[in-house]
Amino acid sequence: MKRILVITNNLDQASYRVRVAALIEPLRRRGFELDVHVRSASLGKRRAMLTTARDYHAVLLQRKLLDPSDARLLRRSALRIFYDVDDAVMYHAKPTGWLSRWRTTRRFQATAAVVDHVVAGNQYLADLFRKQGAAVASVVPTVVDPSRYIIKQHAPTDAPRLVWIGSKSTLPYLGEIVLLIERAKERIPGLRLVTIADATVESPVVPVEHVPWSAAGEPVALVRGDIGIAPTPCDRWTLGKCGFKIVQYMAAGLPVIASPIGANAQIVREGETGFLPASPDDWPALIAKLAGDVSLRQRMGEAGRWRVESAYSIESAADAWATLLD
């Protein structure tokens, strides 16, 4: 059994649950034991943990950029360093001061200089690390365990439901298309919206059903919807997004409408598993098209589920990681 030291920043973070925690058992079956440690805020404890890297086959650094001194210490201690990333961590999601930007850039440069292999959630992130000097960068997409998800059985309905899953930080992306959803309701009078998150949006026109997010309740909540939506603006932060919600929708057998930004355009197959509206004005017509055609929803939902099982499952990611780690 080859031991892998995993250094992460937060065990409750979605990126940890999806890209590391879900792989612990599948990788154990493939001969790798993941020993997970949370990066300590204490300098002494953190440096003591970094020096233990010499006792492992490899180190998997998850998402967190390293201070230059920590990066140098880890490089001296570790046989091999893998860096797992599924967000544009070298940038900030919101405007910030010059000092914060400088620190982030410095850490990005230091981390890229010492890792042996970057494992990115999409090609955009892999390219950013290559340009910064990372030795090798591969793409392993964000995946799910398909067995966790209930598969939607589509049926004719006078009240079709759009569903959006996310968090308070990405809720503004949904807010930007509320008016477009309201325009779609002019064509489909019974149209509704389901939100699964820690916050929701309001509309005077479209009824909104809010379901507070929980890991246990997520599969049931998703199939309350008929169509999964993933509106995404285009900027250097969102280009680093890895389309997790889209993979969830497809695992639940839902057709998807997603902005053709970043990984979205690679995950969704236009006309097969969903639609990629070229402009905001295309959203109302595409929503109405899917809302009014149950056979199309069923066909796209089945195609999406098959795509998840074949290319975006935990087992496929475990195979990829085992090859890299070995």
Residue 141: predicted pLDDT: 94
Residue 141 half-sphere exposure toward CB, CA atoms < 13 A: 23
Q: Quick one: pLDDT at residue 29? A: 97
Query: Any residues with CB less than 8 A from the CB of 117 and at least 6 apart, and which?
Result: 80, 81, 82, 83, 135, 136, 137, 138, 324
Give the separation between CA 271 and CA 296, rounded to whole angstroms: 10
Separation in Å, CA 180 to CA 205, 247, 282:
11, 23, 9
- Lookup: tokens for 113: 């200089």
Q: What is the pTM of this model?
A: 0.93
Torsion of CA 176, 178, 213, 301, to 10 degrees: -100
Q: Which two tokens stand for residue 53?
A: 């890297």
pLDDT at residue number 14 = 76
In this prediction, residue 72 carries a pLDDT of 96
Mean pLDDT by 10 residues, the chain (326 residues): 93 80 94 94 92 96 93 96 94 87 94 96 95 92 94 97 95 96 97 97 97 94 98 94 96 98 95 97 97 98 97 95 94
